Amino acid sequence: MSELAFAGVVELARRVRAREVSAREVTDAFLARIDEHDGAIGSYLVVDHDGARARADQLDLEVAAGKDPGPLAGVPIGVKDVIVTEGLTTTAGSRILDGWVPPYDATAVARLRAAGAVILGKLNCDEFAMGSSNERSAWKPCTNPWDTSRVPGGSSGGSAAAVAAGLAAATLGTDTGGSIRQPAAFCGVVGLKPTYGRVSRWGAIAFASSLDQIGPMARSVGDAARVLEVIAGVDRRDSTSIDQPAPQLEPSLAAGVSGLRVGLPKEFFEGAALDGEVAAAVRAAADALAAAGATLKDVSLPHTKYALPAYYVVAPAEAASNLARYDGVRYGHRAPARELGDMYAQSRAQGFGPEVKRRIMIGTYALRAGYYDAYYKKAQQVRALIKRDFDQALEEVDVLLAPVAPTPAFGLGEKATPIDMYLADVFTLSCNLAGIPGLALPVGNASSGLPIGAQLLGRALDEATLVRAGAVIEAAFGTRRPPGPWGAP
């Protein structure tokens, strides 16, 4: 039954509901692949063998009784370790939460379960979602199934690698500055970052609250759309949740792009940082859209060059505020009041890794008295200009097409300095600052064999247009499996 690993979300759910295959058979097939192959990849931190099998058996009983388990019936899904899961260890990739077992599910996870999904386990990620390579996990590195000497991207590297290697039919990731789209591009899968507020953040361990967004990763645009339809929608427990119903995306998959106006932001194609093969692949995706009836137009996002510095003021400032709760009192050992001061310092020093501490220090500095106006306030003003750029460009066109990352996946340990690592996100950050949706999908392979991804960016709450254009690009370029045992059925 190992061929089930690449059947896809929509197809697996159809087959389970039609009783062509049991949810238990599907779950066992994925668990067997995880046990056999994940040791070389490291995409999972926790695998819930017993819980997944029990859930699959329950679903099979429902199907046998004539009940419809839901649109994700029997679909095995992995969840990034920054999203809480009832009864299943959640650490946010950090030693400071070692052994924490949440007593509740995040809203997105609860909606997956209600739709019939089987949760396989928790996926590796950069600590507290701070990183672009998954090398900042406190537990173990995660590698790219296309080349295990390369990174899978970050911070949702485990989520992307698991889908690419057939170790989950779909996964949940989070995108704060590109952490769904960049690993999707590096691993040759589809990643969908919804509009900010489209999916509830309740139960997502916060990094930067005004930027974080939960979204799906899958092997196809249709599969990602199916998962987003399930997890989206208003949630009264999340004050940033948008009071709109979940989108109906399936009709957009066959809508075509005739008459669609596609913008090519010149700032994303300029400069020596963009690899020539990446630029050519994205241009080929544009040509595919034009051949299908879309109109191409050059547009400008003039404040794009300020996205990187603005993001690395706003995000660390919010992180410094959010992570102050991990102070050794609520999380860590209990002690008499006279000892709490020392324990606070010890828990922070021993619990957080270097990247998290770096961002806390940067954020604390930016927020301190006398510096707030010079740094945080100024960054928020730049953020408003970036959003205005997108609003104006998306009045001229319906969707934007751009590279996801300057290069294909880089080598483990290759980015020697934090600045080198931050530059890997240069094309993805502005989407988060503006709060708009983005869809990353594969558009070919470099001469090295590594996948190349493009991203579609659209108006707020208009994921349907991204899916519409993405389906056409996918039809032109197809889906791919990595070489070696991870791509074999």
- Which tens digit of pLDDT belongs to each residue from 176-200? 999 999 999 999 999 999 999 999 9
Domains parsed from the chain with CATH numbers: 2-263+397-486 (3.90.1300.10)
Query: pLDDT digit string (tens) for 161-170?
Result: 999 999 999 9
Residues shown for the chain: 489
Other beta carbons within 10 angstroms of residue 72's beta carbon come to 29
Q: What is the mean pLDDT of residues 303-309?
A: 95
Closest residue by Cα to residue 252 from 467, 438, 457, 476: 467
As a whole number of angstroms, the distance between CA 165 and CA 412 comes to 18
**Model confidence band, residue 325 (pLDDT cutoffs 50, 70, 90):** confident
Q: Which two tokens stand for residue 196?
A: 């900010």
Return the CA Rg of the chain: 21
364: burial class by Cβ within 10 Å (0-12, 13-18, 19+)? middle
Determine the pLDDT at residue 320: 94
**Model confidence band, residue 26 (pLDDT cutoffs 50, 70, 90):** very high
Q: What is the mean pLDDT of residues 459-471?
A: 98
**Model confidence band, residue 273 (pLDDT cutoffs 50, 70, 90):** confident
Lowest model confidence (mean pLDDT) among 96-110, 120-134, 333-347, 360-374: 333-347
Active site residue: 43, 155, 200, 220, which one? 155
Instruction: Please confirm, yes or no, whether 266 is among the known catalytic residues.
Output: no
Q: What is the mean pLDDT of residues 373-394?
A: 96
Which residues are CB-contacts of 129 (< 8 A; sequence separation ≥ 6)? Answer: 80, 82, 92, 93, 155, 156, 174, 176, 179, 205, 207, 212
Q: Would you say residue 399 has pLDDT above 70?
A: yes
pTM of the model: 0.95
Active site residue: 22, 43, 80, 137, which one? 80
The residue among 109 and 487 whose pLDDT is bigger is: 109
Lowest model confidence (mean pLDDT) among 65-74, 99-108, 235-244, 372-381: 372-381
Q: Would you say residue 287 has pLDDT above 80?
A: yes
Determine the pLDDT at residue 333: 45
Determine the pLDDT at residue 340: 38
Determine the pLDDT at residue 358: 93
Closest residue by Cα to residue 457 from 406, 404, 379: 404
Query: pLDDT digit string (tens) for 328-344?
Result: 544 544 444 444 344 44
Residue 76's H or E segment, with its range, is strand 76-80
% of the chain residues with pLDDT over 90: 89
Which residues are CB-contacts of 143 (< 8 A; sequence separation ≥ 6)? Answer: 40, 41, 42, 149, 150, 151, 152, 161, 412
As a whole number of angstroms, the distance between CA 477 and CA 282 comes to 11
DSSP 404: S
Determine the pLDDT at residue 208: 96
Instruction: Please confirm, yes or no, whether 80 is among the known catalytic residues.
Output: yes
Lowest model confidence (mean pLDDT) among 17-21, 249-253, 270-274: 270-274
For residues 73 and 17, is the Cβ–Cβ distance under 8 A?
yes
Strand pairing of 118-123 and 170-174? unpaired
As a whole number of angstroms, the distance between CA 278 and CA 11 comes to 31
Instruction: Please confirm, yes or no, whether 155 is among the known catalytic residues.
Output: yes
Give CA separation, 466 vs 43, 178, 298, in Å.
Answer: 28, 16, 18
Q: Would you say residue 143 has pLDDT above 70?
A: yes
Instruction: Write phi, then psi, for 445 (nearest 5 degrees).
Output: -135, 145
Active site residue: 132, 133, 137, 179, which one? 179
Determine the pLDDT at residue 1: 54
For residues 38 and 167, is the Cβ–Cβ distance under 8 A?
yes
Determine the pLDDT at residue 327: 66
As a whole number of angstroms, the distance between CA 86 and CA 91 comes to 13
Measure the CA angle with vertex 90, ends 85 and 91; round to 5°.
Answer: 160
